[in-house]
Structure 1
C-alpha cells in the first residue's frame, strides 16, 4: 500500500495525453492541444552545440549549482533583457522548473506551512506542495481582478490564517493572463510587508503578445525566481531550468540539491547556454504561436466558447458553459469523436473547472486550423 502523500490527484493533462497516444497507436490522427509542450524542435544552431559536445568525450557530474558557462549566460540574459545585474552566485541551474519548485518548497518552508496559489492554476503546484507535507491554500481569482492575485485579497487570506509564502505565475498557466509591472510590484511589496516568501514562476517569459513581461527581480532581491528552458526555448525533454535565489537560500538549496539531484544533466546545461544565442530562431517560433493564437481567438467565440484574455504563454482557457456543464465529459467526447486532445478545467480549478477547458496552441499552425475545422463540424 502506498503512502498517504502519494494520494495526490492525477495530472489530467498527462491523463489526456495517455489516452491520445493510445488513439495514435491505433492509427488515428490526433491533434495534440492538451500539454504545454512546444511543437517546434530546438533550432539547428543549438543542436549543433549539443552534437559537438556529445562527441567530445565523457559526460559527468557538474557542480550542483550548475556550470559557470550556463550561469554566466543566464546573468547576461537578465542584463540584456531587463537591464538587471544578477550575481552569478545567486543563479542555480535545476533539472527543469519542477526541481526548482521542489527545492524552493524544501528550503523555504517547514512541514505544515501554508503556501498560497491562485485557482485556476498549474496543478503540479498543488500536488508538490501537498506531497512535501505543506498546506496548499488555493485562492480563487476571476475576471474582476483579471485572473490575478491582488494585495488586498492576499492580506485578507493571510489575516484569516497566516501564510508563509505565495506562488504566482505571469504569464500564467492555464489562463495565459499576465500581471502588469505595477500589479506585480504591488504584490511583491505586500509579501515583503507580511514577511512572506514570494515565489515567481517566470517559465513563460519570452512568450508575451500584447504586454511586456516583467521579472520580480526588478522589485526585490528577496524573491525566489523559477524559470525554465522548456517553453520559449523548446527544451522540454532536456530537463533544464534555473532559479535566482535570495542570498540566504543559496547554500541551503545547494545542500539539498546535492543529495536530491547531484547535478543537472551536463549536456543539457551546455546546450541551454547556447540557446540564448538563438533568439532570432526562437522569435520565428513565437511568431507561429502568435498566428495560432489569432486563429483560436477568431474562431472559438463563434463556436460557443467564452475566451479569457490571452496575454502570454500558449494557452486559451475557455469557458464551456454554453456547450456543457461537465468539461471532463466534454473533453473525453471531443477526443473520442474528433480526435482533438485538450485538457478539462478540473485540472486547474477544483471548484469551477467543470465550466472551463484549456487549449494549447503550441503546435503547428496547420494542426490548429484543422482543429478549428473539426470543432466547427462537431459543434454545428
Structure 2
C-alpha cells in the first residue's frame, strides 16, 4: 500500500557520516572494520590503470557531450554480448557516475514537480535527489516477507491511490540485494506501459547477480531509461563514471542537459571505463570473492542473532533486522562503531518509516575484515 502521509525533506547520508567518524577514529590509531559503504575492496583491473597512465599526457580537454565514441561503441558491444540486444552507440551517454544519470533522467523525462515512484527501502539518494530537484515522491513499501520484491501488482495498487509519472526501480537493489528475474522484469515493464508510467531502470549492480545473468530492461523494451555505472562491478568507485541508454524520443533533450549541466564525463575516467569493459574476467574474480563473503557474513550475522532472512540475490549487502538488540538503528550503528570498532549503515538511510529496525552490512570488502567484524560483534553483543 502506498504511504500518502509522508513528509519529505533533505536528510544526510548517514552511512557516509559513519564513514567520516570511522576515519577519524582510524586517524587516532584504532582499527575499524568497514561494512558501512558499498565500496569494493579491490582496485580496478591493472590494465585500467595502465590505460590511464598511458593516456595521461594527452588526455586533456572535454569530450563529446555524449562521451568518447570508443567508450560508447564498447558499451554497445557489451549489450550485444551480455544481453543479446543491439544498442545504437548514439543512444548512449557517458555520465559523471549514476548520480548525474539520475539528474539528467528526471529533468529529461518529467515536467517540474512531477511525482516519481520509488521503492522503500531504497537507495537514499533517490529521495534526496528528487527532493532537491523539486519533484514529488511516491513510495511503494516492500517487505521482507515477500523477499523485498517489487511486483506489477504493487505498482498498480500504488498508482490507483496516487498516480505518478515515473518509476525508478533497481535490480539488484540497494540495500536488500533483491533482484527480479526475466518474468519479474517483464511484469514491471508491462505494468508501467499499461499505466503510462516512464520506467527508469537502475542497473548499477548488474554483473553482481548470484543466481545467473542480470536481466536488463533493454532486453524487453526500448522505452525505459537505463542507468548504469562502473563503480560496483568494475571496482571504480571515485572515478565518477557511468552511463545511460535513452529512448530515442528523449535522447536530444538528454544530450542538451548533459551539455549544460555537466559538459561531459571526465576524460580520463572515460578512458579507464573503456579499458574496464575488456576486463570482465577480473571483475568476475572479484564477484567470486563477494559470493564467498555473502555466505560468511549472512551465516555469521544469523548466528549472532540478527534477522537475516534469505541470502541476498545480488549486489553486496545484507539488510538485517536488529530487533533482538535495538529499535534505533542510528544509535545502534553509532554504538557499534564507538565501542566495537565496526562501521555499518543504519536502516533509516534506506527507509525513513521502518528503517529504525534494520542495519545494512556491506560484504564488498575483504574476508579478513568480515571475519574480524563478526568476532567483534559476537563479543560485543553477547
Common fold, TM-score beyond 0.5?
A: yes
Q: Deviations over 1:14-73 (max 9, x none)?
A: 111111111111111111111111110011111101100113x24110111011000001
- Classify the secondary structure of the residue corresponding to 1:209: coil
Q: Deviations over 1:83-135 (max 9, x none)?
A: 11111111111000000000000111112211110100000000101111101
- Classify the secondary structure of the residue corresponding to 2:18: helix
CA 1:180–1:378: 2 relative to 1, 3 Å: same
Name stretches of at least 5 consecutive residues in structure 2 with no aligned partner. Answer: 1-7
Contact kept, 8 Å, 1:118 with 1:148, in 2: the verdict is: no
TM-superposed CA distance for 1:210, in Å, is 2.6
**Mapping 1:309-324, distance limit 5 Å:** 309-324=311-326
TM-superposed CA distance for 1:284, in Å, is 1.1
Q: Deviations over 1:251-305 (max 9, x none)?
A: 0011011011000011110110110111111111111111111111221111111
The equivalent residue for 1:3 is none
Distance 1:58 1:293 in 2: 39
CA 1:180–1:264: 2 relative to 1, 3 Å: same
Q: Deviations over 1:307-363 (max 9, x none)?
A: 143111010000111111111111110000111100010000011101100001111
The correspondence for 1:376, drawn from 369, 375, 378, is 378
- Classify the secondary structure of the residue corresponding to 1:321: coil
TM-superposed CA distance for 1:220, in Å, is 0.6
Distance 2:232 2:165 in 1: 29
**Mapping 1:9-158, distance limit 5 Å:** 9-55=11-57, 57-158=58-159
Distance 1:257 1:280 in 2: 32
- Classify the secondary structure of the residue corresponding to 2:25: helix
TM-superposed CA distance for 1:7, in Å, is 5.7
- Classify the secondary structure of the residue corresponding to 1:307: coil
Name stretches of at least 5 consecutive residues in structure 1 with no aligned partner. Answer: 1-5
TM-superposed CA distance for 1:146, in Å, is 2.1
Number of residues paired by the alignment? 374
**Mapping 1:292-307, distance limit 5 Å:** 292-307=293-308
The equivalent residue for 2:343 is 341
TM-superposed CA distance for 1:240, in Å, is 0.3
In the alignment, structure 1 residue 180 sits paired with structure 2 residue 196: no
Q: Deviations over 1:213-271 (max 9, x none)?
A: 10011111000000000000011111000001100111001101101100001111011
- Classify the secondary structure of the residue corresponding to 2:175: coil
TM-superposed CA distance for 1:148, in Å, is 2.0
The equivalent residue for 2:3 is none
- Classify the secondary structure of the residue corresponding to 2:238: helix
Q: Which moved more, 1:141-150 or 1:341-350?
A: 141-150
CA 1:50–1:318: 2 relative to 1, 3 Å: same
Distance 1:336 1:19 in 2: 9
The equivalent residue for 2:253 is 252
**Mapping 1:225-304, distance limit 5 Å:** 225-304=226-305
The equivalent residue for 2:223 is 222
TM-score (norm 2): 0.96
TM-superposed CA distance for 1:139, in Å, is 1.1
The equivalent residue for 1:168 is 169
TM-superposed CA distance for 1:212, in Å, is 3.1
Contact kept, 8 Å, 1:121 with 1:349, in 2: the verdict is: yes
* RMSD of Structure 2 on Structure 1 (CA): 1.2
Distance 1:255 1:317 in 2: 39
Contact kept, 8 Å, 2:114 with 2:165, in 1: the verdict is: yes
- Classify the secondary structure of the residue corresponding to 1:15: helix
Contact kept, 8 Å, 1:292 with 1:365, in 2: the verdict is: yes
Distance 1:285 1:336 in 2: 30
Distance 1:167 1:17 in 2: 27
Distance 1:290 1:302 in 2: 19
